[in-house]
């Protein structure tokens, strides 16, 4: 397959390029290393607290050492993976001071940004533009996940090298208002080509993609690669509790079995997410009770009581609409290789039909 921009930045990646989402609480260094070793691009979750005493940064240092160990790379070699960061914490202004040195020390190849607020990403670029410039000075590739065309335009203006076009089928947190990848990806591709001629910007598809057929579809839409999140939740290396793995594998009819709402955060107390974002999760008992009219205060109490007693039926399990296609777990490397093989088969099948 032809080399694209992502392969120029990540020479060890094999097309079709599969990227693991930096899912905070589920992804980790071992998972990211396995994805990269199998020819994908692994992403380690780096958190959102950039203060000098941040526990997230302590974990990040340890994670990068773990990834290097799993990849058997000496300190002089760059790490062929990235680190994901959320951008809405008040400590974002400390990023260059506290976090960039860790990334450069460990020779991280990329960062994966998501969820700025208007106050940190104003019309002039604000803090985000300054951070991106500092990362580029260290030859670090900047991924920026967005949920609409306007945000994609802003990301490119602020210096993004890779725009991750995330459709509303995605699991976990995303833009409240958006569209599916089928329309979002090609419109972002067209916008970048039209408004930023000559810029080396790669477009990546995300949201509802869990198998090789989805990967092939993303490529057909104009993406250089795809991000998988829900599929890697059941990877052997993921920090996913056993009850949740079982639930994800057994879930069918993903569009009906998941719901996109801010209610999931309200119930579990993760209400620090800013207004432009909500999240998609499995429809559990807490969400069902919400729909039935149970007052939120009472719903939160039920959630807490169930959690204390070991009852998992009310807990929030983030998942995209593609969850109905997730039928098994396994090593992350196998997921990458099998998905890539299926994508190539799908592309060849289509080529045989129409060319």
- DSSP tally for the chain: helices H, then strands E: 15, 11
Catalytic center residues: 173
- Predicted model pTM: 0.95
Tell me if residue 223 falls in helix, strand or coil. coil
Q: What are the C-alpha distances in Å from 1 to residues 77, 143, 206, 224, 304?
A: 27, 23, 21, 11, 51
Which pLDDT value is given to residue 4?
Answer: 80
Q: Using CA atoms, how far apart are residues 125 and 151, in angstroms rounded to an integer?
A: 12
Terminal-to-terminal C-alpha distance of the chain: 16
- pLDDT tens string, the chain, 355 residues long: the values are 345 889 999 999 999 999 999 999 999 999 999 999 999 999 999 999 999 999 999 999 999 999 999 999 999 999 999 999 999 999 999 999 999 999 999 999 999 999 998 766 655 458 999 999 999 999 999 999 999 999 999 999 999 999 999 999 999 999 999 999 999 999 999 999 999 998 989 999 999 999 999 999 999 999 999 999 999 999 999 999 999 999 999 999 999 999 999 999 999 999 999 989 999 999 999 999 999 999 999 999 999 999 999 999 999 999 999 999 999 999 999 999 999 999 999 999 988 887 7
Q: Using CA atoms, how far apart are residues 173 and 78, in angstroms rounded to an integer?
A: 30
Residue (of 73, 299, 91) closest to 99 by Cα position: 91
Residues sharing a CB contact under 8 Å with residue 185, sequence separation 6 or more, in sequence order: 165, 167, 203, 205, 218, 221, 222, 223
Which pLDDT value is given to residue 122?
Answer: 57
Which pLDDT value is given to residue 2?
Answer: 42
Which pLDDT value is given to residue 120?
Answer: 63
User: Is the CB of residue 45 less than 8 Å from the CB of residue 27?
Assistant: yes
């Amino acid at each position: 397959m032809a080399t694209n921009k992502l392969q120029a930045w990540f020479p060890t990646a094999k097309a079709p390029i599969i990227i693991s989402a930096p899912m905070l609480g589920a992804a980790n260094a071992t998972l990211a290393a396995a994805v990269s070793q199998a020819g994908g691009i692994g992403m380690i979750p780096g958190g959102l607290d950039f203060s000098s005493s941040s526990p997230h940064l302590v974990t990040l240092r340890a994670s990068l050492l773990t990834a290097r160990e799993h990849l058997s790379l000496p300190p002089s070699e760059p790490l062929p993976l990235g680190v994901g960061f959320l951008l809405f914490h008040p400590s974002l202004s400390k990023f260059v001071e506290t976090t960039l040195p860790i990334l450069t020390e460990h020779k991280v190849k990329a960062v994966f940004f998501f969820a700025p607020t208007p106050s940190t990403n104003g019309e002039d670029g604000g803090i985000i533009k300054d951070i991106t410039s500092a990362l580029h000075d260290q030859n670090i590739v900047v991924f920026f996940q967005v949920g609409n065309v306007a945000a994609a335009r802003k990301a490119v203006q602020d210096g993004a090298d890779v725009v991750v076009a995330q459709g509303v089928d995605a699991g976990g947190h995303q833009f409240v208002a958006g569209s599916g990848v089928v329309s979002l990806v090609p419109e972002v591709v067209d916008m970048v080509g039209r408004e930023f001629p000559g810029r080396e910007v790669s477009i990546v598809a995300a949201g509802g993609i869990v198998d090789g057929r989805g990967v092939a579809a993303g490529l057909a839409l104009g993406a250089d690669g795809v991000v998988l999140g829900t599929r890697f939740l059941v990877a052997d290396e993921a920090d996913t509790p056993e009850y949740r793995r079982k639930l994800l594998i057994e879930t069918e009819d993903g569009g009906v079995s998941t719901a996109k709402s801010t209610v999931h955060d309200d119930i579990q107390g993760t209400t620090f997410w800013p207004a432009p974002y909500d999240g998609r999760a499995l429809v559990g008992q807490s969400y069902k009770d919400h729909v039935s009219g149970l007052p939120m205060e009472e719903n939160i109490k039920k959630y807490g009581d169930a959690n204390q007693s070991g009852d998992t039926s009310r807990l929030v399990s983030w998942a995209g609409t593609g969850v109905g296609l997730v039928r098994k777990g396994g090593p992350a490397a196998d997921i990458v290789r099998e998905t890539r093989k299926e994508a190539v088969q799908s592309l060849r099948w289509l080529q045989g039909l129409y060319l």
